Chains A and B, each alone.
Chain A
Amino acid sequence: MSESGLPQSRQRRDETTLWEVFVRGRRGLSHVHAGSIHAADAQMALRNARDVYTRRGEGVSIWVVPSSQITASTPDEKDPFFDPSADKVYRHPTFYTLPEEVRQM
């Protein structure tokens, strides 16, 4: 693993940076991670993301973030991070019925 938290194989030796791309499909939804692209700077990253991830009408808005700026949880932390929620079934919204009008939950 390198400083950016990504395997060496995903880094290029030239000057382009890796960017994570988030696309919002429709107004009212949140941005969702779509993938990553290479670009020399933020403006080019936005354009590359547009070309790579919104060619089929997928988006109304794009965010790009330098991959190195993302702090990720590590596999070592998996148990303390995620296991404690496994037995708390009462946290799921399954004990009441949603009105039909509420579509995006």
Chain B
Amino acid sequence: MIANDSAGTTDSMARALFTYTLRLGDDALILAQRLSEWASRAPEIEEDIALTNIALDLLGQARALLDYAGTLEGAGRDEDDLAYLRSEREFTNVHLVEQENGDFAHTIARQLFFSTYQLALYEELISSRDELLAGVAAKGVKEAAYHNDHATQWTIRLGDGTDESHRRMQAAVDRLWPFTAELFEADDVDRALAAQGIGVDPSTLNARWALSIAEVLSSATLTPPQTTWSSHGGRRGVHTEGFGYLLAEMQYLHRSHPDAKW
């Protein structure tokens, strides 16, 4: 979609854009899958609907992004092929989104960390020179803002709630904190696309994220963890233990009954 001066540059830019779009799509898809596991299991029916609403928003983003990635790749793969027929090592989502739901506090902590990042990302991506990415961001920014508000409200209520809810919310924040650094890791793909005004260098979002999270944690009377290790590798297709089980459940139907329709 972007004109370039030499065929070689165009080629490598197209590959970079494919990789970049796939990463955004995989983050949204895998988090949608995790959230949809709450269907019929949330603490109350109102929350059941809220979490699955969020899952559907993310699934919509994933569909648009994976469909576009398939077009960019030019190998004839559509959104379903990319979602259902890739193996674990071919998924490029960050580790945060594949973490198990845990108790409700863990799901909320994961939502808070991811939606704060995604909101900042989409706010920047709106001005992408790529029309489709700008479009996904323009629609997604309102969704991400709501997801962020939902997670913020719950974090404050659980953190500043009873002794038990405070303990659980702090435990969730501590457990998931090491998975947040990966969100802001930039590689050549990110830097090349950012230089072209097409993508966003995620490392530039880190300061805004940290500020916003610090505010929420403070209102929630929670303590920011002092963790020394962090988890990396998702963008290269190296995933955590639970991811294989998630894929098995997500892909089972499509692989057993190829092209099954409702």
Interface residues, chain A, with chain B CB atoms under 8 Å away:
16, 37-41, 43-44, 47-48, 51-52, 55
Quick one: given A40-B157, A44-B153, A44-B157, are A51 and B44 in contact (CB under 8 Å)?
no
Interfacial chain A residues near B150, Cβ < 8 Å: 47
Complex: A48 Cα to B48 Cα, angstroms: 10
Given contact pairs A47-B150, A47-B153, a sample of 18 additional A-B residue pairs in the complex whose CB atoms are under 8 Å apart: A16-B44, A37-B46, A38-B46, A40-B157, A41-B157, A43-B153, A44-B153, A44-B157, A47-B50, A47-B149, A48-B46, A48-B47, A48-B50, A51-B46, A51-B49, A51-B50, A51-B53, A55-B49
Residues of A within 8 A of B45 (CB): 38
The 13 listed contacts between A and B (C-beta, < 8 Å) are A16-B44, A40-B157, A43-B153, A44-B153, A44-B157, A47-B50, A47-B150, A48-B46, A48-B47, A48-B50, A51-B46, A52-B49, A55-B49
Chain B residues with CB under 8 Å of A40's CB are 157
- Bound form: Cα–Cα A18–B50 in Å: 17
The docked-state distance in angstroms from the alpha carbon of A75 to that of B32 is 47
How many angstroms between the C-alpha atoms of A55 and B54 in the bound complex? 11
Chief secondary structure at chain B's binding surface: helix
Counting from the closest, the 5 A-B pairs by CB-CB distance are A48-B46, A51-B50, A51-B49, A37-B46, A51-B53
- Residues on B with C-beta less than 8 A from A52 are 46, 49
Partner of B46, one of A39, A41, A43: A39
How far, in angstroms, from A38 to B150 measured CA to CA in the complex? 16
- For the complex, give the distance between the alpha carbons of A48 and B49 in Å: 8
* A47 and B45 alpha carbons, distance in the complex (Å): 13
| Residue in A39, A43, A55 whose CB lies within 8 Å of B53 | A55
Q: Which residue of A lies closest to B53 (CB)?
A: A51
> CA A72 – CA B46 in complex, angstroms?
25
- Enumerate B7-51 residues with CB–CB distance to A below 8 Å: 44-47, 49-50
**B162 to chain A: closest residue by CB:** A15
Q: How far is the CA of A16 from the CA of B44 in the complex (A)?
A: 10
Contact pattern, B 135-152, Cβ under 8 Å of A = 1, otherwise 0: 000000000000001100
CB distance from B57 to the nearest CB of A (A): 11
Which chain B residues border A48 with CB–CB below 8 Å? 46-47, 50
Q: Give the residues in chain B near A39, CB-CB below 8 Å.
A: 46
B170 to chain A, nearest CB (A): 19
In the complex formed, the residue of A with least CB distance to B157 is A40
Q: How far is the CB of B203 from chain A (nearest CB, A)?
A: 32
What is the bound-complex CA distance between A41 and B157, given in angstroms? 10
A48, B53: Cα distance in complex, Å: 11
| B44 CB contacts on chain A under 8 angstroms | 16, 38
Q: Return the chain B residue nearest A15 by Cβ.
A: B162
